[in-house]
Structure 1
Amino acid sequence: MTSTTQTLPPGAKPLGPPMVGEHVSMRTWLAVAAGMLGAFMAVLDIQITNSSLKDILGSLSATQEEGSWIATAYLVAEIVVIPMTALLTRVFTMRGYMIGTTALFLLFSTLCGFAWNLPSMIAFRMMQGFTGGALIPMAMTLVMAKLPPSKRATGMAIFGLTATLAPSMGPTFGGYLSELYGWPSIFYINWVPGLLLIGGIAYGLDREKVQLDQLFKADWLGIAFMAVGLGSLTVFLEEGNSKDWFDSLFIITFAALAIVGLLGWTVTSTTRSQPFVNLGLYGQRNFLAATALSAAMGMGLYGSSFLLPLYLGQIAGYSPMQIGEVIMWAGLPQLFIMPFVAKLSSKVDNRILCTFGLLLFGGSCLMNAYMDASTGYDQLLLSQVVRAIGQPFVMLTLSNFAMNGITPKDMPSASSLINMTRNLGGSIGIALLATALSTREHFHSQRLGESVTGFAGATQERLDALTQSFMGKGFDATSAADMALKAVDGIVRREAYVMAYNDGFFLTAAVLFGCIFVLWFSDKVKAPSSGGGGAH
């Protein structure tokens, strides 16, 4: 591992915070708020296409499997650009980079709405991810670089909201817009927060000198290895389940490229005096524990946002708008809870707060692990509210753990790495759950099939009753018997899927509960309330 104390590039200004106790101007708060808007917009766009995918695929004449690349393209580009933000911020300055990348994000968002076929949509989504992905770590960097320690808990609370609210609100927002104005509107809506972001950053941050010479001195070999490694890993995770994992040469190729790229990135990073992102931070115990937990949180966050809409659409037959009305309850209460958590974080050991949050979040997944085919809005409301209460306790404290003891010059690297790890955790979680869903559905189908046979008395009675019912509707005996058989088969498949979804929530709960043990390997941390770093 490289040393965690990087020397700054010649002429680069340290991203240090203001003096302790210094008054934070309205301009600075405006810049921080604009940064949060950018992070929210970028995370929202990961999942906003999910609820409208059927409409998008229909108008682009694409299959469901081909359509998976619409999300994969965005994720690949986003995960590649996140570690590069520290370098690009040094080159173009924080103000210049945020304004430029947002303007390009809006351009590519608009082009997504105008996409004329699947390849054009995938290309524009990739460029949208590459320009939008940077906005996620930039929001955290703004909090650490522009706010004094006493105000950072508030800043991190708002950042935590963007990370947890957006995955909950994405399907809701996408469903409403799609149903009311058509699917292109989910891309055009970005102009509202995008223009506010550009205005807020232009007014709130001072101009600094662009340092293009940093581009020529950059570790481009390390960047190439990183891009190949993270990009291939994301493709491997996103497409693996649909292509039967290692039965596919395509997936084996990307797995090999991921290993080569990640190893190459690690080696070049350890041998360069100026790596583009400081991987040596993983050598700090607190930061390592926080990033491991961040990956697990990503699995829980994106995993639960993946399972529930799928269940509601497939089993309960909900429309995108109805799904959104259920999912939003995992988001809205957080607006009221996060300020309370921010206050507590400066008074209570953050390990206790995080444990409480993980217990609630894991508990809410356990509450979802006992669903049946009739489970709907009323039965899911309580678990969604419990999830909304738990998530802020985890997100805010994880940010405090990760940034505790990080020097000002390493803050952009730390922000990039923790956000990259959370997104990777989300991809791993969705890949695991998608695979578990199909394997467990097969398992439960076989088990139920062993019980529901033509020789079982209860099955025979049900088949007879259904056959009589269909004959009463005017069908002949042979057709009625066939329809009864298909109806029973459909019930078996449906029950197998419900049991598989329950297993998925059990798995998510187990990961979140397991995190509690990892958490206690980190130091005692409290958010500073009136100066100084986090206490150990």
Structure 2
Amino acid sequence: MSSSTKPAVQHGPPGAPANGARIDARTWIAVMAGMLGAFMAVLDIQITNSSLRDILGSLSATQEEGSWISTAYLCAEIVVIPMTALFVRAFGQRRYLMGTTALFLVFSTLCGAAWNLQSMIAFRMLQGFTGGALIPMAMTLVMTRLPPAKRAVGMAMFGLTATLAPAMGPTLGGYLTELYGWPSIFYINWVPGVLLIAGMYWGIDREPMNVRELLKADWLGIAFMAVGLASLTIFLEEGNSKDWFDSSFIITFASLALVGILGWIVIGFWRQNPFVNLRLYGQRNFLVATMLSAVIGMGLYGSSYLLPLFLGQIAGYSPMQIGEVIAWMGLPQLFVMPFVAPLSQRVDNRLLCMFGLLLFGGSCLMNAYMDASTGYDQLMVSQVIRAIGQPFVMLTLSNFAMNGVQPKDMPSASSLFNMTRNLGGSVGIALLATSLTNREHFHSARLGESVSLAASATQSRLDALTQAFIGNGIDPATAANQAIAAVDRIVRRESFVMAYNDGFWIVGVILIGAIVPLWFADKVKSPGGAGGGGH
């Protein structure tokens, strides 16, 4: 019996069940409720993407202004994630999770009722600040409520929330907008939200409040962190639309991000008890896991950014049709994850993660050869391959991140790991948005050199188009102008197709290249039934 309890003492937080202990229904309900919360919070990052055109039309806002709808949510979410451990210590796990979920639902409802762009941005920011805590808390619940032998299953469920939600966001948003209107994408949060509150109420014991934690908190460090992370997110999200360092707005936020993050790091290492333990980055496994988490965030959010844009702009798909394509990146994961969890207990997680990165990166490289006729049928295979690879990566990275972390540092580790993934997503979208703009200009210039009015092939095509327009009853002068415009549209379309291909190529190469730092981590396996953690 002593051999089975020892691993729990070594690897689990205080009060966590010993390995082999029976887990009652209340515990599983609490863990499942945590997963539902994380899924809901990640889903809401992407759910507005398919509906943005309808939202902007209702709020009389431009496309550039509308980018703040996502930026506000992401800023607040990234800022609150590192603060979660502090709030849990102050209010207790049960009270904080129920309270922040209730506020999340209130602000979601207000988003659906927003009357102008300013009110929408304000409510989205408050929604992100209340919902962001749900992401790291799901991971913490797995580590604190489950014995080592069951954590592979728990981490598998958590991995699904991180990979399934970005895939399902555009799908669900597209369906709801087309059937019930865009406010329904916010009102739908009441379904999982009420279940989450009920699950937390029943599944987690009442804990005493300790508001003194807030009074003695490292508020200077929190202020630097909030300014740094929020400014970095704004810099990344808005940089491309404002021409990066040609804009004084972007230079200001880049400077604030640098000062804020450097200040946070200095105070974090100087203070004896910082609000989140940055010294965890000194552990090799945790450092590798968070670096790869950023890369995965880039791949997850980057592919979810590129594909809907391509299908909407090039293929002319409706939000619902886009959702049907994206769904194939999510649904197969439900069938793959149950096999990955037991494998992670038997096989070196570096091998599993490498396999997942190869599939994920390879699927992006498959999308780097699209043409203007590419649609649902041609994309299905790459989407399924991506869906198979993602669970292998997410589960194993969670294992690397938590391996060897002291019980008292688990909330900090969860916060930093999840924060890094979201930041990676922001970096990925910024990189791809800039690449899309620059590569479209590049390809347009190169194609324009070939498709010149002096070229015989171009003249033949223009003559054929002109005759076709004349045949439809258009006068010769107008027909000639329309023929030139049609060729110009084809050049622009092909330029964009090649730019999208370049974007997927970038993501694929980065994901496959991440295999190199992976092997700097130690050999780790999920704890098995006999106990023990990673090795």
Q: TM-score range by the shorter chain?
A: over 0.9
Deviations 1:463-512 (A, max 9, x none): 00000000111111110000000000000000000000000000000110
Please state whether the residue corresponding to 1:525 is helix, strand or coil: coil
8 Å CA contact 2:13–2:143 kept in 1: the answer is no
Give 1:82 deviation, angstroms: 0.2
Deviations 1:18-53 (A, max 9, x none): 222211111000000000000000000001011011
Please state whether the residue corresponding to 1:333 is helix, strand or coil: helix
- Superposition pairs of residues 161-240 of structure 1, within 5 angstroms: 161-240=160-239
- Superposition pairs of residues 306-317 of structure 1, within 5 angstroms: 306-317=305-316
Does residue 1:45 correspond to 2:53, yes or no?
Answer: no
In structure 1, the residue matched to 2:353 is 354
| Structure 1: stretches of 5+ with no match in the other structure | 1-12
Please state whether the residue corresponding to 2:345 is helix, strand or coil: coil
8 Å CA contact 1:17–1:408 kept in 2: the answer is no
Q: How far apart, CA to CA, are the structure 2 residues paired with 1:95 and 1:514? A: 41
- Superposition pairs of residues 338-353 of structure 1, within 5 angstroms: 338-353=337-352
In structure 2, the residue matched to 1:8 is none
8 Å CA contact 1:77–1:231 kept in 2: the answer is yes
Q: How far apart, CA to CA, are the structure 1 residues paired with 2:486 and 2:533? A: 61
8 Å CA contact 1:16–1:409 kept in 2: the answer is no
Give the ranges of 4+ consecutive aligned residues of structure 1 lying more than 6 Å apart after TM superposition: none
Give 1:531 deviation, angstroms: 4.6
Give 1:16 deviation, angstroms: 4.7
In structure 2, the residue matched to 1:4 is none
Please state whether the residue corresponding to 2:433 is helix, strand or coil: helix
Q: How far apart, CA to CA, are the structure 1 residues paired with 2:342 and 2:396? A: 12
8 Å CA contact 2:404–2:534 kept in 1: the answer is no
Deviations 1:153-202 (A, max 9, x none): 00000000000000000000000001101110000000000000000000
In structure 2, the residue matched to 1:158 is 157
Q: How far apart, CA to CA, are the structure 2 residues paired with 1:267 and 1:299? A: 27
In structure 1, the residue matched to 2:7 is none
| Alignment-mate amino acid for residue 41 of structure 1 | M
In structure 2, the residue matched to 1:55 is 54
Q: How far apart, CA to CA, are the structure 1 residues paired with 2:534 and 2:367? A: 37
Q: How far apart, CA to CA, are the structure 1 residues paired with 2:520 and 2:69? A: 39
8 Å CA contact 2:298–2:426 kept in 1: the answer is yes
Give 1:532 deviation, angstroms: 3.7
Give 1:253 deviation, angstroms: 0.1
Q: How far apart, CA to CA, are the structure 2 residues paired with 1:460 and 1:153? A: 64
Deviations 1:227-248 (A, max 9, x none): 0000000000000000000000
Q: How far apart, CA to CA, are the structure 2 residues paired with 1:47 and 1:535? A: 34
- Superposition pairs of residues 461-500 of structure 1, within 5 angstroms: 461-500=460-499
- Superposition pairs of residues 52-201 of structure 1, within 5 angstroms: 52-201=51-200
| Structure 2: stretches of 5+ with no match in the other structure | 1-11
Give 1:17 deviation, angstroms: 2.0
8 Å CA contact 1:463–1:484 kept in 2: the answer is yes
In structure 2, the residue matched to 1:6 is none
Q: Go from structure 1 to structure 2 and tell me whether the alpha carbon gap of 1:99 and 1:232 turns closer, same or farther (over 3 Å shift).
A: same
Deviations 1:364-420 (A, max 9, x none): 001100000000000000000000000000000000000001111100000000000
Give 1:273 deviation, angstroms: 1.0
Give the aligned length: 524
Deviations 1:241-262 (A, max 9, x none): 0000000000000000000000
In structure 1, the residue matched to 2:6 is none
Deviations 1:267-300 (A, max 9, x none): 1111111100000000000000000000000000
8 Å CA contact 1:143–1:152 kept in 2: the answer is yes
Give 1:209 deviation, angstroms: 0.4
Q: How far apart, CA to CA, are the structure 2 residues paired with 1:23 and 1:288? A: 33
TM-score, normalised to structure 1's length? 0.97
TM-score, normalised to structure 2's length? 0.97
Deviations 1:301-355 (A, max 9, x none): 0000000000000000000000000000000000010010001000000000000
Cα root mean square deviation, aligned: 0.9
Q: How far apart, CA to CA, are the structure 1 residues paired with 2:83 and 2:508? A: 33
Q: How far apart, CA to CA, are the structure 2 residues paired with 1:186 and 1:286? A: 38
Please state whether the residue corresponding to 1:66 is helix, strand or coil: helix
Does residue 1:363 correspond to 2:362, yes or no?
Answer: yes
